[in-house]
Chain A
């Protein structure tokens, strides 16, 4: 069984498809994850189930992958948990979660932004370039840089879950490059496709961070680290103050323009 605990989850689900359904029963959504390199051991630990649920889950997994063998993931060192089911973020994590809200407000506007897009006109192209600027400056340089340079640096960079997060960031960047390439070709379909894919990647990525990664990190950061991260994040915010206001105004103006259209699409 130990070998299964050390295996990447996508590989296990590939070999034992029933695992995907079992994990979903415990709100562990590994099946739609596009990366899937996290180890089963880390996934069980990171989701912080109650001891009873964890025992039951491991029993069900064992019955599928290694019938007749009992398994458990040691719970030691995980006692600082605020308790399963309740998500409460430390102040630096709250800052990142608020940034996610702004990014998701933008992502929600992508369908309306690209509907009937005219890439022949300078005005239409400008609209896409503004969106790319928001993604590159706000979502990537500002938010992802906080994560990659400061937050993730508090943890062992060899952790599969961190590699998966880096991979999501990389795929997001590739989509943005795809948008620019399509725009240069005056290919409205390509622009729309790449932006839609960016929206899907980020939506799933933010869900993983909000629900799984950040709560796990909060349980493992020391009080000292929380204070230091908060101070460093605020320093970044200071240097980005004027830009932060500009990007909030950008999202708000897009909402003003497109929210009716979004409601229309949703109807």
Chain B
């Protein structure tokens, strides 16, 4: 038991990893990103790549934690990223997610968050947007561990 009693989202941890051995084949993984911009404040629900799409709303940290983020989570989806802990103007986030439901008429929304408690805020934003939306859409959430494993996934 460590004596740490602060925010688990800011708690310092180090993961021991083996470096890839010298000379081992480095596999080039193609990016699955098919749009720009990606930050939730910057994206427009009117963008063609959101219309009728399956959309991934990912916490900023998720792509760094998950080794196979592109192939397992981003592939085939439109993307928006946000941090529910540090970003300003989160009322605008609720309105924008709602516009994805109502105007872009997206097919599904997947909210990908980290296991730290503050990250639940992103699911809360999506839940609030769905509640206020005149058009209902299946919303799924996926919780990733700090080492990028999927800990939990379910539909709202």
B87: which A residues are within 8 A, CB to CB?
none
Cβ distance A223 to chain B, nearest Cβ, rounded Å: 5
Q: Are B54 and A88 in contact (CB under 8 A)?
A: no
Indicate whether B148 reaches chain A with its CB closer than 8 angstroms: no
Indicate whether B120 reaches chain A with its CB closer than 8 angstroms: no
Q: Which residue of A lies closest to B153 (CB)?
A: A82
Given A82-B153, A88-B154, verify A223-B110 contact (CB < 8 Å).
yes
Chain A residues with a Cβ closer than 8 Å to the other chain, count: 15
Q: Are B155 and A227 in contact (CB under 8 A)?
A: no
User: In residues 134-156 of chain B, which contact A (Cβ within 8 Å)?
Assistant: 136-138, 140, 153-155
Q: Are B108 and A226 in contact (CB under 8 A)?
A: yes
Separation of A228 and B53 alpha carbons in the complex (Å): 10
Separation of A36 and B107 alpha carbons in the complex (Å): 37
A231: which B residues are within 8 A, CB to CB?
107
Cβ distance B144 to chain A, nearest Cβ, rounded Å: 15
Indicate whether A142 reaches chain B with its CB closer than 8 angstroms: no
Indicate whether A29 reaches chain B with its CB closer than 8 angstroms: no
A227: which B residues are within 8 A, CB to CB?
54, 106-108, 137-138
A82, A228, A234: the one contacting B154 at CB < 8 Å is: A82
Q: Which residue of A lies closest to B56 (CB)?
A: A223
Separation of A88 and B140 alpha carbons in the complex (Å): 12
Q: Which residue of A lies closest to B108 (CB)?
A: A227
Given A82-B153, A89-B155, verify A224-B107 contact (CB < 8 Å).
yes
Q: Are B138 and A230 in contact (CB under 8 A)?
A: yes
Separation of A165 and B11 alpha carbons in the complex (Å): 52
Separation of A89 and B138 alpha carbons in the complex (Å): 11
Cβ distance A221 to chain B, nearest Cβ, rounded Å: 11
A17: which B residues are within 8 A, CB to CB?
none
Cβ distance B141 to chain A, nearest Cβ, rounded Å: 12
Separation of A88 and B153 alpha carbons in the complex (Å): 10
Q: Are B107 and A92 in contact (CB under 8 A)?
A: no
Indicate whether A90 reaches chain B with its CB closer than 8 angstroms: yes
Q: Which residue of B lies closest to A90 (CB)?
A: B155
1/0 contact string of A88-121 vs chain B (CB within 8 Å): 1111101000000000000000000000000000
User: In residues 68-102 of chain A, which contact B (Cβ within 8 Å)?
Assistant: 82, 88-92, 94
List 7 A-B pairs, minimum CB-CB distance, nearest first.
Answer: A227-B107, A227-B108, A91-B138, A90-B155, A230-B138, A223-B108, A88-B154
Task: Give A residues with C-beta under 8 Å from B.
Answer: 82, 88-92, 94, 223-224, 226-228, 230-231, 234
Task: Give B residues with C-beta under 8 Å from A.
Answer: 54, 76, 106-108, 110, 136-138, 140, 153-155
